């Protein structure tokens, strides 16, 4: 059982507690938040709150989250593009379309299934049966580098680096429109979208989220951008670039609804990773090239 202590602020006054929790806790839908409240798992001063409780901003909420239900992930012989591997970690260049871990609608055929086959029993158990070895995630239609831990000690060390921002993740993307500045930082909290629960959004009371961006090349109607994550919220780069008014090319969730010909999903690729090796402490820096469809979009929009 995991316990959270959450503190609303004055700006949250008047918001229903179920809606606030869904925006504040990553991965928690409003219906799931309502169930927690109905089960008495959300308390203030030791007393359970009703799901329609309106926040005053003075509450100190204690939230008891149940353990995820076990999921049996079976090993599957799915090809992996391995960039780095040793007895402690494995880094894979994930292709678009590959889901990272089993979830409703995707019970198998995931990166976890592939890792279980490739690594055998050598994956950390900290992520549970649902996410063995998984230290961080990449969206289904985002490609690029993702690191997994082969033992619990490695997982704990990498997770700590993720927490203190020393595990650096670098992404490249093409965004719609021409960014006015050459570089910048988006420091805007991200939580569940208040209306569309399948989406994330910049919302008051969301979890802190920081993205640093740099223009690499100005294209015809688009901009080629490098993004460095300081935090790792769900859909962070996609949400932050859309918040700037420049959604990622091909992102039909946060940008134009019509797909881009020749492009599956958003034009976003995790091009670089830097971390301290969990056993030796040595700095490991890894990179990978852009996918062919990404390169094709760069050529398509390059000014002649």
What residues act catalytically? 139
DSSP run (H or E) holding 153: helix 152-163
Tell me how far apart the alpha carbons of residues 19 and 34 are, in angstroms, rounded to a whole number.
8
Strands 42-44 and 47-48, how do they pair? antiparallel
DSSP run (H or E) holding 19: helix 17-24
**Can you count the helices (H) and strands (E) in the chain?**
6, 15
DSSP 122-146: -S-STTTTTSTTBSS---TT-EEEE
Contact 130, 27 (CB under 8 A): no
Phi and psi dihedrals of 296, rounded to 5? -65, -35
Burial of 244 (0-12, 13-18, 19+ CB in 10 A): middle
Query: Measuring CA to CA, which residue among 273, 267, 259 is closest to residue 292?
Result: 267
Tell me how far apart the alpha carbons of residues 116 and 132 are, in angstroms, rounded to a whole number.
8
């Amino acid at each position: 059982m995991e316990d959270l202590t959450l503190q609303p602020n004055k700006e949250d006054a008047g918001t229903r507690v179920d809606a606030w929790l869904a925006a504040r806790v990553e991965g928690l839908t409003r219906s799931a938040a309502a169930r927690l409240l109905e089960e008495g798992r959300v308390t203030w001063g030791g007393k359970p709150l009703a799901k329609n409780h309106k926040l005053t901003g003075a509450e100190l909420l204690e939230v008891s989250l149940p353990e995820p239900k076990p999921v049996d992930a079976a090993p599957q012989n799915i090809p992996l593009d391995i960039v780095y591997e040793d007895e402690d970690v494995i880094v894979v260049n994930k292709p678009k379309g590959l889901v990272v871990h089993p979830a409703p609608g995707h019970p198998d055929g995931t990166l976890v299934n592939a890792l279980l086959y490739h690594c055998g029993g050598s994956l950390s158990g900290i992520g549970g049966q649902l996410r063995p070895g998984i230290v961080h995630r990449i969206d289904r239609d985002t490609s690029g580098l993702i690191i997994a831990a082969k033992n619990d000690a490695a997982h704990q060390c990498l997770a700590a680096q993720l927490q203190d921002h020393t595990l650096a993740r670098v992404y490249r993307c093409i965004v719609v429109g021409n960014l006015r500045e050459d570089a910048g930082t988006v420091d805007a909290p991200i939580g569940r979208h208040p209306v569309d629960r399948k989406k994330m959004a910049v919302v008051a009371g969301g979890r802190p989220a920081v993205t640093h961006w740099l223009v690499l090349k100005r294209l015809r109607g688009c901009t080629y951008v490098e993004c460095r994550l300081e935090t790792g919220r769900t859909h962070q780069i996609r949400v932050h670039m859309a918040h700037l008014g420049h959604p990622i090319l091909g992102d039909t969730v946060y940008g134009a609804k019509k797909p881009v010909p020749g492009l599956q999903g958003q034009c976003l690729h995790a091009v670089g990773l830097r971390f301290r090796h969990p056993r030796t402490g040595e700095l490991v820096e890894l990179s990978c090239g852009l996918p062919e469809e990404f390169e094709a979009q760069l050529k398509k929009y390059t000014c002649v």
